[in-house]
Structures are given as C-alpha cells and as structure tokens.
C-alpha cells in the first residue's frame, strides 16, 4: 500500500501576487474538499476542487498554487487607493 503524501501547502514555486507583488501566502481550505491560494494582502486565487474528503491524499496545495500561478500571469492590475 502506498498513499501519496497529503500536502495542504504548496511544494511548488508560487508566483508573486499580481496585485501587491508579494510572495507570501498560504493555501486556505474553503470547504471540506476545495482549496484556494491566498496572498497576505487578501487577494485570492481560483478555488480548486480536490476530490472527496475520504481521498485524503494528493497535493491540493499544489493544485491551488497552479491555479494561482495561471491567474498570476494575467496582466490585469488593480490599483488600490489609499
């Protein structure tokens, strides 16, 4: 029996935030089996589904990070007024 490790936090490189340029963030669990990457500034990435809760294996952190990285490519910038 070999179960893959379960990583809720990403083990792959995460791109800088398109809003604040920061690189500090974490993966947040949204519901029992969906996750999203969230920057320290409050910007959050797309929500990703991660199978069933009973499938407690895999790397939802990396799935969320990949979704975030795809979005981080967008040239869109939101200016925040003081």
Contact footprint for Zn ion (CB under 5 A): 17, 19-20, 22, 39, 41, 43
| Least spacing, CB of residue 22 vs Zn ion, in Å | 5
Indicate the residue among 14 and 48 with the shorter CB distance to Zn ion.
Answer: 14
Integer Cα distance of 38 and 48 in angstroms = 12
Q: Token pair of 80, please?
A: 């925040």
Task: Compute φ and ψ for 36, nearest 5 degrees.
Answer: -150, 155
Is the separation of the CB atoms in 17 and 42 below 8 Å?
no
Indicate the residue among 12 and 24 with the shorter CB distance to Zn ion.
Answer: 24
| Least spacing, CB of residue 82 vs Zn ion, in Å | 16
């Amino acid at each position: 029996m070999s179960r893959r490790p379960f990583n809720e936090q990403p083990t792959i490189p995460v791109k800088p935030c398109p809003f604040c340029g920061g690189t500090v963030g974490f993966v947040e669990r949204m519901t029992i089996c969906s996750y999203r990457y969230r920057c320290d500034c409050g910007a959050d990435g797309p929500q990703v589904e991660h199978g069933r809760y009973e499938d407690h294996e895999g790397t939802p952190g990396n799935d969320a990070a990949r979704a975030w990285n795809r979005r981080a490519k967008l040239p869109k910038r939101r200016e925040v007024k003081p």
